[in-house]
Amino acid sequence: MVKADLLRRLKAEFPEYTASDLKDVLDLIFEHMCQSLCACNRIEIRGFGSFVVRPQKEREFINPKNGKKTYYPKRYRIVFRPGKKLRKTCQNFSPNN
CATH number at residue 65: 4.10.520.10
- Whether 70 is covered by a domain: the verdict is yes
Cα dist. 28→3, 31, 51, 55, 79 in Å?
Answer: 13, 5, 17, 26, 21
Closest CA to 31 of 63, 3, 62: 3
For residue 97, is pLDDT > 70? no
- Taking the mean position of all CA atoms in its chain, how far away is CA 67? 34
Question: 22-77: per-residue pLDDT in tens?
Answer: 999 999 999 999 999 999 999 999 989 999 999 999 999 898 899 899 988 999 99
- Give residue 15's domain range: 3-87
Crossing angle of helices 3-13/19-38, nearest 10°?
A: 130
Tally of domains in the chain = 1
pTM of the model: 0.75
